[in-house]
Chain A
Amino acid sequence: MNKRSNWALPYFIFLVLFVVLPLLLIVVYALQDASGHFTLANIGKFFSDGDSLSTFALSIEVAIENTLLCILIGYPAAWILANKEYNKGAVTVVLFILPMWINALMRTLATAELFTMAGIQLGKGTLLFGMCYDYLPFMIYPIYNVLNKMDKSYAEAAQDLGATPREVFRKVTLPLSMPGVMSGVMMVFMPTVSTFAISEFLTNNKIKLFGTIIQENINNSMWNYGAALSLIMLVIIGITTFLQGNDSEETSVGGII
């Protein structure tokens, strides 16, 4: 081993201690019963428990809704930010990123407090609002990045070939910005599936998400079932990542969503 590769050692140790080991522990706990014997019962329990399944379905539903909401609000915002005509300085970009400097938990608590003050009933609406508020920058930024770096001559070429501004957007700008949308989706969708703090504060625990039941199990020392649920979530996230990864490659070449 030469000297330079030694520099990687601290990172390697860090990764083993804080990424690989915890993951292994999750797998080990998930496949054990309370007394430490190997079992698949924890995973079986999830698939036979109606409550868990419906919570899971709800989490996915909320995550999809939140992601769509973020695209709907985030894309036009990113487009305006990337457009030099509307956005003269980079100040506006900073304004969009600024909320991220404040701890997400504090923002969520403050939002909940605002809703209570305004007398708005906490529920699914407030939950989606809070999630969108928290995750919107993660959608805007990658799209903004792609749009900002996009060679202007593509739009000009389309115009030159007879496309109206609307057609330029639909046929060139939008498809070419899909990689940005895809990474935005990944950065929004996955954290929303596993979030629990937002649902706890913004619905007063009325709506339980998948993250919430994992947290509850762990808090109540149900380590094994909690680990099994985490493992299931990891696997599902892993699969969607994989699918989207393939997908975004294709979109950069060809299709619309």
Chain B
Amino acid sequence: MKDYIIDIQHLSKSFGDKKVLDDINLYVRRGEFITLLGPSGCGKTTLLRMIAGFLKPDEGNIFLDGKDIAGVPPHERPLNTVFQRYALFPHLDVYDNIAFGLKLKNTPEDEIDKRVRRVLKLVAMSDYEDRDVETLSGGQQQRIAIARAIVNQPKVLLLDEPLAALDLKMRKDMQIELKEMHRKLGITFIYVTHDQEEALTLSDTIVVINEGKIQQIGTPTDIYNEPVNAFVADFIGESNILKGRMMRDRRVAFIKHEFDCVDEGFGEDVRVDVVVRPEDIYFTTDPAKCQFTAKVNSCTFKGVHYEMFVDTDTGYELMIQDYDPYPVGSEVMLYIDPDDIQVMKKERTENKYSGKVTSEGTVEFLGAEFECNTEGFEVGDDVTVKIRFEKVDLLDHEDEAITTGHVEFILYMGNHYHLTIRTESGEKIWVDTNDIWDKNDFVGIKILPKDICLEKVVTANE
């Protein structure tokens, strides 16, 4: 039996039609600092609110100390929350805010007094007990909110973007203090944030969530160095995400060059995604070390390092971070260590839908009717439709479009953009394009008949 304080199994939640959380499986070790990280609207706060008990899951279970807490109302759960906007009671002073939970449990007056003073000391707010909470600064309110939660000695402390409202300097200071508090208290922290840097700084474990699904669980170094997919690589830190081909074990090709790497087991001649962090591309003056050359396109001072964009000899754009600047326009020699190349399995290599032949020359999928060559198929046949990413045309108007959608996610792949489009029917289509689109742009979708490839659906019975 592992020492899991919280064990979440097959948790799902929908608001109306929208699935906010989809089959979440997650355990939290006792005493761990775990961070739920993801862009806004990814479902992380919903997950936290379900653990706190403010929302009921549609499916799945949450176990606390091995017991299912589905029927336990929030006020009986041994958890406390630090709310995003603190939610300090404006009608009570600092002392009474912190004592609120203890008073409800009929704790003796002298015990309350002792514990309130102890947590006030812990959050470095000792002389503020009689202050009106509305006279406190954001950082001070934050401390009181934390004190109000930890004074109850919860088994788990839930923190919902607690530092989001603070300015940068204050946020950095509070991060250090939170980490310190976690160490001193030994309580399990579940922390929600959209700030990847904060997550990397604070956590023992990071859970990256996107669109209601867990993308990756791991230590900060795991997540940073070995992202499992393009989303995680793009979301955590800066990165160059590129199309690649695994030639054989320990040998990968990308940007039209071949590199040694450390990854194995992908097979031979398999399409993959490759991530190279901008700080892992090195400049060299030694022609023997040089793996490829490039021309510096721009160079910006970023405080600690310089951020440069270079065009490779093969026409790809890469971001490089280095302590030394190189003049714009200069030719440079570059190399990448095998260790620093992260190879990821491609989640998909083309668009694939199930469709139906509606008449001779038309097929229905994505909630629309497309023209294509249906030779060899009968009307009414169920088919699998395949379209290559680069064969989808995006238009900025509806006139010639067959269906429409919105740009949901943009990934720059060195020499083109890989877009995720959410169509009107709620499905997704992935598109490779050289055109620049913005997130949430409205797009018309058009696919030429010759680029739609049909395959018979092979049913199990046949």
Contacts and interface: CB of A to CB of B under 8 A. Distances in A.
B423 interface: no
B145 to A, nearest CB: 8
A175 to B, nearest CB: 5
Contacts of B54: 156, 159
Contact of A161 (B84, B90, B100): B100
A160 B80 contact: yes
Interface in B95-121: 100-101, 104-105
Interface of A: 151, 153-154, 156-164, 167, 171-172, 175-176, 252-254
A66 to B, nearest CB: 27
A171 B132 CA distance: 17
B152 A162 contact: yes
B83 interface: yes
A156 B83 contact: yes
A254 B73 CA distance: 28
A252 B83 CA distance: 22
Contacts of A175: 91
Contacts of A154: 87, 89
Given A159-B75, A167-B104, A253 B91 contact: yes
A159 B74 contact: yes
A67 to B, nearest CB: 22
A254 B132 CA distance: 10
B132 A157 contact: no
Contacts of A252: 90-91
Q: Which 9 A-B pairs have the closest CB atoms?
A: A161-B101, A153-B87, A157-B87, A175-B91, A159-B74, A162-B104, A160-B81, A159-B75, A162-B75
A34 B100 CA distance: 64
18 contacts: A154-B87, A154-B89, A156-B54, A156-B74, A157-B83, A157-B88, A157-B89, A160-B52, A160-B74, A160-B75, A160-B80, A160-B81, A163-B75, A171-B104, A175-B91, A176-B90, A176-B91, A253-B132
Interface of B: 52, 54, 73-76, 79-81, 83-85, 87-91, 100-101, 104-105, 132, 148-149, 152
A252 B133 CA distance: 13
A187 to B, nearest CB: 22
Nearest to B49: A156
Contacts of B79: 160
Contacts of B148: 157, 161
Nearest to A175: B91
Main secondary structure of the interface of A (DSSP, over half): helix
Contacts of A157: 81, 83, 87-89, 148
A153 B85 contact: yes
A162 B75 CA distance: 4
A165 to B, nearest CB: 8
Given A153-B85, A156-B54, A253-B132, A161 B80 contact: yes
Nearest to B84: A153
A156 B87 contact: yes
A180 B83 CA distance: 25
Given A159-B54, A254-B91, 16 more contacts: A153-B87, A156-B54, A156-B83, A157-B87, A157-B88, A159-B75, A160-B75, A160-B149, A161-B75, A161-B100, A161-B148, A161-B149, A163-B104, A167-B104, A171-B104, A176-B89
Contacts of B81: 156-157, 160
Contact of B105 (A153, A160, A162, A176): A162
Contacts of A164: 75
A109 B74 CA distance: 52
B52 to A, nearest CB: 6
A60 B80 CA distance: 48
A158 B100 contact: yes
Contacts of B83: 153, 156-157
B293 to A, nearest CB: 57
- Centre residue among B54, B87, B91, B100 by max chain A CB count within 10 A: B91
B457 to A, nearest CB: 45
Contacts of B73: 159
A154 B83 CA distance: 10
A4 to B, nearest CB: 35
- Centre residue among A157, A163, A253 by max chain B CB count within 10 A: A157
A143 to B, nearest CB: 16
Nearest to B77: A160
B132 A172 contact: no
Nearest to A156: B54
- Centre residue among B76, B83, B105 by max chain A CB count within 10 A: B83
A18 B75 CA distance: 57
A154 B85 CA distance: 10
Contacts of A163: 75, 100, 104
Contacts of B89: 154, 157-158, 172, 176
Nearest to A167: B104
A153 B132 CA distance: 19
Contacts of B85: 151, 153
Given A153-B83, A153-B85, A253-B132, A161 B91 contact: no
Nearest to B99: A161
B216 to A, nearest CB: 29
B86 to A, nearest CB: 8
Contacts of B87: 151, 153-154, 156-157
- Centre residue among A153, A160, A162, A253 by max chain B CB count within 10 A: A160
B160 to A, nearest CB: 10
A164 B105 CA distance: 11
A156 B79 CA distance: 13
A161 B77 CA distance: 9
Contacts of A176: 89-91
A153 B145 CA distance: 12
A162 B91 contact: no
A159 B85 CA distance: 16
A146 to B, nearest CB: 12
